[in-house]
Amino acid sequence: MSDMACIYEMNMIDENEQMENDILSGIGMDVMLCLMDGISTGREIAGRIGVPNYSVQLYLQRFVKAGLVREDKEIIQNGQIEKQYALISDEIEIMNRIRGTEIERRRKVELSGQHFAYLTKKAIKNVNTDSSKPHKIKSYFMKAKKSDMEKFKQEIDVLFEKYQALEDLDEDETYSLFTILAPYGKGENENEDIKI
Amino acid sequence: MYDVINAYMENGLKVILHRIPEAKTVSCGLWVNQGSKHENDENNGLSHLVEHLVINPQNANNYEYSELAYRAAAEGVIYNAATTKECTYFYYIGLKNTLDICLSCLAHIAINNRDFEHNFFENEKKVVLQEATSFYSSFQQIKERTSQAIWGNVGIGKVIMGNLRLIEKATQEQVQELLRVSYIPANATIVVVGNIDYSQTLEMIENKFGKWEDRRKIIKEEFVEELPSGYWNKGSGSNAVISIGFRAPSYQSEYRTATDMMVRILGQSGLQARIVQEVRMKRGLAYNVGGFSNFYKNRGTIGFMAVCDKNKTMEVADVIMNTFFKVLTTGFTEEEISREKKIMETSMLLSMENTTDHLRNVGKCSVMESNFYIENEVRRIRSVTKEDLDSIAKRILHENNMGLAVIGDCELDKLTEKVRFS
């Protein structure tokens, strides 16, 4: 009498559908951010995140299977095969237009959101180390009319174009401007001035 | 004193003879250094298929071998074969006067069984597929999956049963190519154990195997993945099996005996083993639970597994990890070390009293280019200290040395958070 249905395939990872669709669960996003940062080996990623090598491999294999990451094998000394990983596409960053099936859209939105958060965190930390340079970090949550927000959005677009027009490629310093004008939900105000 | 004759024939065949004056039976075997670690993604499973093909006397293309095999069986000879990650071996056991016929059968396996009648070939493939299907439907595959997780699906990580799809499509040409390259004298060892005369036995072997053509052995480099990983399969049914494995020293390593002892104390020493105590006896989380160890020529795998309800996998993992933590903080006790030493020594000496087990010990060592001496093995067991065991635990039970194999529908992300040392 058998214990279970025969496993015919030789894949190292064969999960249920829910897990396949939720590839950014657990430390998946941390692994993805390491890859975006250019870190390419499982050992380095495990060291950066502080988790066992084997668990990083789970997420890397999920990404490879999902077609997000490429796996390159390189034989190193003593007969050990080192694997290096790289993102398939540079487009796994902030995307203005998100297309695809519902599952793909959810995945991309999650990736975009996390990447955005990563970038803003980096900018805030830079302010902390160099507060003499121009900076402004502020947030405000409020209830407002949709029509007023639409007008305000147009003003933000104009302001953003004005900012981009100030670009000077001969300068050394890079500045960042992030804008998030978005519905936040129907809860209470969460006003908080972020002071550095 | 344990004496052994080691010799090489002119064609490169290694011969190991061990005389046991009081033995009433004689055992002889052929070890060929061809196992799953020598396979790749295109032929994984062929070593095992070849084992079936060359030993089966129903092949109409070698009538002489069929006759010999049936005569041997009529004389009460028992024969069998097995494929491992490093070798394929065939052995015959019978009364002292059957040595000649047994060696003749082995000679046919080594030299002549290369061409297979079509229906026989296809039928034997079906048999192998049945065996493989049964294996891949069993929780026992978890030990192989642990090796796969630890070393990758390459080299020593390759599953012996192989890829079902490849076996199904296997051709005679592929099988013959494997036989041509691997079933050569320089890649093989003959072992004979029993109440034998060394000179007569050597002469018999020379007569039967002398015509085996000497060919150059192709040395392939052995590869493994740099980092341990995992094997995860959602399985089916209400049960799951989990195995936490670790990379371990090789057979020849000075740490091998201590590692073996550690695995036994934690998981193999019957109901007294620590993990068995914690998982089964105290909490009733599993019936089938324990440790396993495999030592190969260049590396080894150890693991601790449990078959449980799939909703209990997290709890089982927690209990096993806590057992490891306790060992790492408080070490092993003198009582359990003393007990395990006696068990291991008894088990070793018992295997010497059985000519088949004895034969297999000698043959296994020859594959790993080591010599088997009972005195050495017993000395190694007796000399293990608490410091050795505590030290080996710290060396092996380590996060970067660890892999996980799971078959069953469980929350893998949460499980990986549990199965860690930091």
The helix/strand count (H/E) of chain A reads as 6, 3
Q: Do B226 and A81 touch (CB under 8 A)?
A: yes
pTM score, whole prediction: 0.83
Q: Which of A49, A2, A3 is nearest to A26 (CA)?
A: A49
The residue-averaged pLDDT of B117-135 equals 96
The single-letter code of the amino acid at B219 is I
pLDDT band at A192 (very low <50, low <70, confident <90, very high): very low
The two tokens of residue B131 are 């065996």
Query: pLDDT above 90 covers what percent of chain B?
Result: 87
CA of A1 to nearest chain B CA: how many angstroms apart?
9
Give the sheet arrangement for strand B25-32, strand by strand: B5-8, B14-19, B188-194, B25-32, B88-95, B78-83
Q: Tell me if B193 sits within 8 A of B27, measured CB to CB.
A: yes
Rounded-to-integer distance, Cα B103 and Cα A85, Å: 53
Residues contacting A39, CB < 8 A, separation 6+: A45, A48
Residue B246: closest C-alpha in chain A? A54
More reliable by pLDDT, A17 or A3: A3
Question: ∠A140-A144-A145 over CA atoms, to 5°?
Answer: 150
Task: Decide if B234 and A15 are in contact by the 8 Å CB cutoff.
Answer: yes
Please report where in the chains the tokens 């998982």 appear, as a residue: B279
Question: How much is the average pLDDT of B299-305?
Answer: 97
What does the alpha-carbon distance between residue A67 and residue A74 come to, in Å, rounded to a whole number? 20
Is A12–B229 a contact, with Cβ atoms under 8 angstroms apart? yes
SS3 annotation, A15-31: CCHHHHHCCCCCCHHHH
Q: Going by DSSP bridges, is the β-strand pair A80-87/A69-75 parallel, antiparallel, or unpaired?
A: antiparallel
Ordered alpha helix ranges (H), chain A: 17-21, 28-36, 42-49, 53-65, 102-129, 146-165
Instruction: Tell me the nearest-neighbour CA distance from A133 into chain B, angstroms.
Output: 40
**pLDDT number for residue A89:** 66
Q: In this predicted structure, what is the pLDDT of residue A194? A: 38
Q: How far apart are CA B186 and CA B9, in angstroms?
A: 9
CA–CA separation, B231 vs B159, rounded Å? 12
Do residues A86 and A40 lie in contact, with contact meaning Cβ atoms separated by under 8 Å? yes
Determine the length of chain A: 196
Mutate to test the interface with A, among B151, B227, B418, B421 (most CBs of A within 10 A): B227
Choose the closest CB to B412 out of A8, A53, A58.
Answer: A58
- Dmax (CA) for chain A in angstroms is 75
- pLDDT at position A142 is 85
Average pLDDT over residues B379-404: 96
Closest-CA distance of chain B to residue A75, Å: 8
B319-B321-B324-B329 Cα dihedral, nearest 10 degrees: -100
Yes or no: say if B89 and B81 are a contact pair by the CB < 8 Å rule.
Answer: yes
ipTM confidence score: 0.82
Q: Is the pLDDT of residue A21 over 60?
A: no
pLDDT tens digits, one per residue of A53-64: 999 998 898 888
| Percent helix, strand and coil across chain B, each to the nearest 5 | 50, 20, 30
Indicate the Cα dihedral angle A83, A88, A94, A95, nearest 10°: -160
Identify the burial level of B164 via C-beta atoms within 10 angstroms of its C-beta, where 0-12 means exposed, 13-18 middle and 19 or more buried: buried
- Across residues B304-313, what is the average pLDDT? 96
Please give the backbone phi and psi of residue B184, each rounded to the nearest 5 degrees, phi first: -130, 155
Backbone angles phi, psi at A71, to 5 degrees: -110, 125
Give the model's pLDDT for residue A94: 39
d(CA B117, CA B123): 10
A93 pLDDT band, cuts 50/70/90, is very low
Backbone angles phi, psi at B243, to 5 degrees: -140, 125
Residue B41 DSSP label: T
Query: Has residue B344 got a pLDDT over 90?
Result: yes
A18 at the B interface (CB within 8 A)? no
Structure tokens at B94: 């019978």
Is the model's pLDDT at B168 over the cut of 60? Answer: yes
Mean pLDDT of B382-390: 97
Option in A6, A15, A79 nearest B223 (CB): A79
**Mutation test of the interface with chain A: which of B163, B309, B416, B419, choosing the one with the most A Cβ atoms within 10 A?**
B416
Task: For residue range B398-416, list pLDDT tens digits in order.
Answer: 998 999 999 999 888 889 9
Residues of chain A numbered 45-84 and touching chain B (CB < 8 Å)? 46, 50-55, 57-58, 61, 75-76, 79-83
Q: Which of B261, B231, B74 is nearest to B146 (CA)?
A: B231
Following DSSP, what letter does each residue of B332-367 receive, concatenated?
--HHHHHHHHHHHHHHHHHHHHSHHHHHHHHHHHHH
Residue A168 tokens, joined: 């000077």
Burial class (CB in 10 A: 0-12, 13-18, 19+), A84: middle
3-state secondary structure of B260: helix
pLDDT, tens digit, 9 for 90 and up, residues A105-158: 666 666 667 667 767 777 777 776 677 888 887 777 888 999 999 999 999 989
Report CB contact under 8 Å: B239, A25: no
Per-residue pLDDT for B192 more than 90?
yes
Among the partner residues A7, A27, A58, nearest to B233 by beta-carbon distance: A7
Q: Which residue of B has its CA nearest to A26?
A: B413
Under a CB-based contact definition with an 8 Å cutoff, are residues B286 and B306 in contact? yes
Residue A95 has pLDDT above 60, yes or no: no
Instruction: Evaluate if residue B368 carries a pLDDT over 50.
Output: yes
